Amino acid sequence: MKKNEMSLRGSKTRSNLVWGIASLTLAMTVSALLSCGPKNGINRQQREVIITKPVVRTISQTVMATGSVEAEDFADIYPRAPGKVIKKLLKEGDPVKKDQPIMLTLQDEVGYTFKPSPVVSKIDGYVGRIRVDVGGTVNPSTPVVTVVKPDNMRIKIDLPEKYLPDIHEGLKIDFSTDTLPKEKFSGAITSISSAVDLANRTSRVEVTVPNPDHKLVHGMFARLDIPVETHENVVSLPLSAVSWEADKQYVYKVENGKITHAPIKIGIRNSTFVEVLEGVSSGDLIANGKLIDLIEGEPVTIKEEDTDIKEKAQ
């Protein structure tokens, strides 16, 4: 064998050996990485989930209505004669007695001299809104001040006629306002109109609201939850613990430290809770909150047991 041929064969042998060692090293590295990574689609590092438990409570299905908060007793005040405002005697928010002057106006007509004329309150209460500034022109057909009694407020709403059989005088109504979004208020239905508006098929309903601390202000916008169906002593879960998949509902139970995807049957619901007719028991631990990426059989750690949820709406 020639010397050149032996050298070439030796080079090929060394090259094959190097490639073999490199391939073996790569295979071992990949194997090690895989052993540290996901297995069967489940990460070894267990995620934490917030859980809740089924609670027996009273649930009311509600419809939302909107209206303006008004003082139960208020009066728009008009000047006695046309003229201009020359002085404000009270400011908005000040208490006022019946017949007490709120501002002075002066009639201005060429060739005549007039005395200042007081604009007086017609009721005891508080100056709610002054609609004109000093120097502004007024006339007897335009209100210049609104005086309110804020101890009791009312909200008038137009309720679709189909819900009239489900309500009655004395029914508790919860509501919120844009001005005080973190505050929750309650009132009761005090009157239901016996007539239906033919144009929009609604009936006027009035809700009266105690306002001892005067947090509610005349003119506020309110969103009311009107209960139209109530079920008492039913098993319930927060809406955030229920997964809607097509036309079916599911929950993710935590059993023996792992996720179980379980179908349920629901009844009525409101903005906070849902009635569960089938599929859960009193001691079940139910994942609550972020449900979209939970996997059947996934091991999880319980982060928090949410067993003291306060109902926001009946």
SS3 content of the chain, % helix, strand, coil (to 5): 15, 50, 35
In the chain, the percentage of residues whose pLDDT exceeds 90 is 69
Compute the radius of gyration of the chain from its Cα atoms.
36
Shared domain check, 264 and 211: no
Q: By mean pLDDT, which of 13-17, 139-143, 243-247 is the weakest?
A: 13-17
Structural domain harbouring 302 = 47-60+232-306
Please give the Cα distance from 240 to 297 (Å, whole number).
21
Close Cβ partners of 174 (under 8 Å, ≥ 6 residues apart): 184, 185, 186, 224, 225, 313, 314
Q: By mean pLDDT, which of 35-39, 68-72, 167-171, 204-208 is the weakest?
A: 35-39
Q: Which of 212, 229, 246 is the last residue in one of the domains?
A: 229
The string of pLDDT tens digits covering residues 24-65 is 555 555 555 555 544 444 445 788 889 999 999 999 898 999
Shared domain check, 156 and 136: no
- Residue 172 domain-assigned (yes or no): yes
pTM summary value = 0.65
- Residue 238 domain-assigned (yes or no): yes
Q: Which of 142, 162, 190 is the last residue in one of the domains?
A: 142
Q: What is the pLDDT of the chain when averaged over all its residues?
A: 86
Quick one: pLDDT at residue 302? Answer: 86
* Contact between residue 234 and residue 275 where contact means Cβ atoms under 8 Å apart: yes
Shared domain check, 245 and 196: no
Quick one: pLDDT at residue 308? Answer: 45
Shared domain check, 177 and 134: no
Nearest to 263 by CA among 290, 243, 281, 283: 243
Residue 128, amino acid: G
pLDDT band at 246 (very low <50, low <70, confident <90, very high): confident
- Residue 6 domain-assigned (yes or no): no
The mean pLDDT of 92-99, rounded to a whole number, is 96
Shared domain check, 111 and 51: no
pLDDT band at 193 (very low <50, low <70, confident <90, very high): very high
- Residue 17 domain-assigned (yes or no): no
Residue 267 token pair: 């009844």
Shared domain check, 223 and 186: yes
Q: How many domains does the chain have?
A: 3
Shared domain check, 106 and 55: no
- Residue 33 domain-assigned (yes or no): no
Quick one: pLDDT at residue 303? Answer: 79
Please give the Cα distance from 142 to 131 (Å, whole number).
10
Q: What CATH number does the domain containing 129 carry?
A: 2.40.50.100
Shared domain check, 258 and 221: no
Q: What CATH number does the domain containing 195 carry?
A: 2.40.30.170
Shared domain check, 223 and 157: yes
Shared domain check, 239 and 281: yes
Q: What CATH number does the domain containing 268 carry?
A: 2.40.420.20
Shared domain check, 178 and 125: no
Strands (DSSP E) along the chain, which ranges?
Answer: 47-52, 55-77, 83-88, 95-96, 101-106, 117-120, 125-130, 137-138, 145-160, 172-177, 185-192, 202-210, 221-238, 243-245, 248-255, 258-269, 273-278, 286-287, 300-306
pLDDT band at 130 (very low <50, low <70, confident <90, very high): very high
Q: Which of 229, 244, 270 is the last residue in one of the domains?
A: 229
Shared domain check, 185 and 157: yes
Nearest to 156 by CA among 213, 94, 206, 218: 206
